[in-house]
């Protein structure tokens, strides 16, 4: 039996289909603990490093369950192939390796239809490797993007397949946790790139927006209203689509809100965020929240889309939304603070086009889960770090 390969999107589909697979990650334990594949459902994953396979082959092979479908993951591809051959030699018959290694998982985007009507289609692009979401809005032969990631070919191909031209691309804020795609998409396609006050003084080349301004498609289609929602960053924006959907960036998340301490000015930004939370709390609670990040798949709805009513979101985050005193709010934020990954400063520079990194460096900076939420994920990370 020959060794075969699979792609990141196949792996995601197997997870969704609850296929009986075992993921064998052959990277070292440090890399494995830092970043690994995740599924919406429980699955079996083991970590036995490629070096261990080289040194103690028999012992390592014995750790891999026989008679199961083995899906190997490694950093680049070569070591997964190496281990795959060893397993075949030992009588395993369903063994595949991930083409391109873990970074292809990190860059994977999964499109989901949030809403389809005669007038428009709204897509959520889930990035399981980053636990983040970007959005596409198509109407007629035009498409708008919100917070695209650096896998820009994906968005350009997607638009082409939908027979659409990308006309506008928006950033909800100057992202710190991943390299954004709007600038390059604008350069490649001629789309207009819009960003808020976060981009002032940068070389991102975006157009700016004003509070309450409305964006439209050239023929029919929904209206997109811009709201200023500072706090997670001073220039954070929220986009209200068709008076029905709230593309909230990292301001309102389904579980938690965006942390306001990433800029090193927690007191100032927490006050901004407090005022923003008071402001958005007045929005229609039947709006659907479409967040920039999630912490866990249990935030998704029954169709595995991260989309919940604002009423439900406020309920889930009662702890935050019930804080009507500014000082209590600031204290709450401080109680949930933790250090930010050092690469965030470099990612900000890349997103402001203040620094240019080669593709390998970009890949390295961009890999790994986000740390944008103020609560749940922080606790999970702290628990991990402490043991
Ligand atoms: Fe963020």
In tens, the pLDDT along 122-152 reads 999 999 999 999 999 999 999 999 999 999 9
In which band, very low, low, confident or very high, does the pLDDT at 369 lie, cut at 50, 70 and 90?
low
Cα 20 to middle of ligand 1, angstroms: 35
pLDDT at 382 over 60: no
Helix axes 182-189, 152-161, angle to 10 degrees: 50
End-to-end CA separation in angstroms for the chain? 41
Q: Specify the 3-state DSSP secondary structure of 225.
A: strand
Architecture in CATH of 4-104? 3-Layer(aba) Sandwich (3.40)
Cα 48 to middle of ligand 1, angstroms: 33
pLDDT score of 341:
83
pLDDT above 90 covers a percentage of the chain that reads: 84
pLDDT at 215 over 80: yes
Cα 47 to middle of ligand 1, angstroms: 30
- With contact defined as beta carbons under 8 Å apart, do 330 and 271 qualify? yes
pLDDT score of 41:
95
Q: Which CATH superfamily is domain 109-335 in?
A: Ribonuclease Z/Hydroxyacylglutathione hydrolase-like (3.60.15.10)
The 10s digit of each residue's pLDDT in 75-133 is 999 999 999 999 999 999 999 999 999 999 999 999 999 999 999 999 999 999 999 99
In which band, very low, low, confident or very high, does the pLDDT at 272 lie, cut at 50, 70 and 90?
very high
Domains 4-104 and 109-335 share a fold: no
The 10s digit of each residue's pLDDT in 225-268 is 999 999 999 999 999 999 999 999 999 999 989 888 888 888 89
Query: Domain coordinates of the chain in residue numbers?
Result: 4-104, 109-335
In this prediction the pTM is 0.93
Mean pLDDT of the chain: 93
Cα 200 to middle of ligand 1, angstroms: 17
Cα 260 to middle of ligand 1, angstroms: 9
Question: What is the C-alpha to C-alpha distance for residues 134 and 68, in angstroms, rounded to an integer?
Answer: 35
Q: Which residues are catalytic?
A: 74
Maximum distance among all Cα pairs of the chain, rounded to whole angstroms: 66
Residue 228, token pair as written in the block: 């200023």
Among 169, 163, 164, 186, residue whose Cα is nearest residue 134 = 169
- With contact defined as beta carbons under 8 Å apart, do 185 and 155 qualify? yes
Q: Specify the 3-state DSSP secondary structure of 168.
A: strand
Cα 173 to middle of ligand 1, angstroms: 7
Give mean pLDDT, residues 347-360: 92
In which band, very low, low, confident or very high, does the pLDDT at 370 lie, cut at 50, 70 and 90?
low
Among 339, 230, 250, 328, residue whose Cα is nearest residue 294 = 250
- Token pair 């007629």: residue: 140
- With contact defined as beta carbons under 8 Å apart, do 268 and 320 qualify? no
In which band, very low, low, confident or very high, does the pLDDT at 360 lie, cut at 50, 70 and 90?
confident
């Amino acid at each position: 039996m020959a060794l075969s390969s699979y792609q990141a999107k196949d792996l995601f589909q197997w997870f969704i289909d609850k296929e009986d697979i075992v993921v064998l990650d052959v990277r070292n334990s440090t890399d494995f603990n830092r970043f690994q594949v995740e599924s919406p459902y429980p699955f079996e994953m083991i970590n036995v490093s490629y070096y261990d396979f080289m040194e103690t082959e028999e012992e390592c092979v014995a750790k891999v369950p026989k008679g199961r479908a083995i899906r190997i993951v490694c950093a680049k591809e070569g070591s997964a192939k190496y281990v795959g051959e060893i397993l075949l030699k030992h009588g395993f018959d369903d063994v595949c390796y991930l083409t391109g290694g873990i970074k292809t998982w990190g860059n994977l985007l999964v499109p989901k239809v949030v809403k389809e009507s005669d007038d428009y289609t709204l897509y959520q692009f889930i990035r399981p490797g980053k636990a983040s979401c970007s959005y596409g809005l198509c109407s007629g032969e035009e498409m708008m993007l919100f917070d695209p990631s650096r896998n820009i070919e994906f968005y350009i191909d997607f638009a082409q397949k939908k027979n659409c031209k990308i006309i506008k691309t928006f950033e909800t804020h100057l992202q710190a946790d991943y390299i954004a795609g709007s600038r390059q998409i604008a350069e490649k396609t001629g789309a207009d790139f819009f960003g808020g006050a976060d981009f002032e003084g940068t070389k991102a080349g975006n157009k700016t927006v004003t509070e309450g301004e409305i964006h439209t498609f050239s023929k029919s289609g929904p209206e997109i209203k811009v709201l200023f929602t500072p706090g997670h960053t001073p220039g954070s924006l929220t986009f209200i689509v068709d008076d029905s959907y709230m593309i909230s960036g990292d301001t309102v998340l389904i579980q938690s809100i965006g942390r306001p301490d990433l800029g090193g000015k927690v007191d100032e930004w927490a006050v901004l965020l407090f005022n923003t939370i008071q402001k958005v709390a007045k929005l229609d609670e039947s709006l659907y929240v479409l967040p920039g990040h999630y912490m866990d798949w249990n935030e998704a709805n029954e169709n595995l889309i991260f989309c919940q009513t604002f009423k439900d979101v406020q309920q889930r985050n009662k702890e935050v939304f019930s804080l009507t005193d500014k000082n209590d709010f600031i204290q709450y934020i401080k109680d949930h603070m933790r250090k930010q990954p050092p690469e965030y400063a470099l990612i900000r520079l890349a997103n402001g086009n203040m620094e240019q990194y080669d593709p390998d460096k970009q890949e390295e900076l961009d890999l790994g889960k986000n740390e944008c939420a103020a609560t749940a994920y922080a606790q999970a990370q702290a628990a991990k770090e402490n043991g």
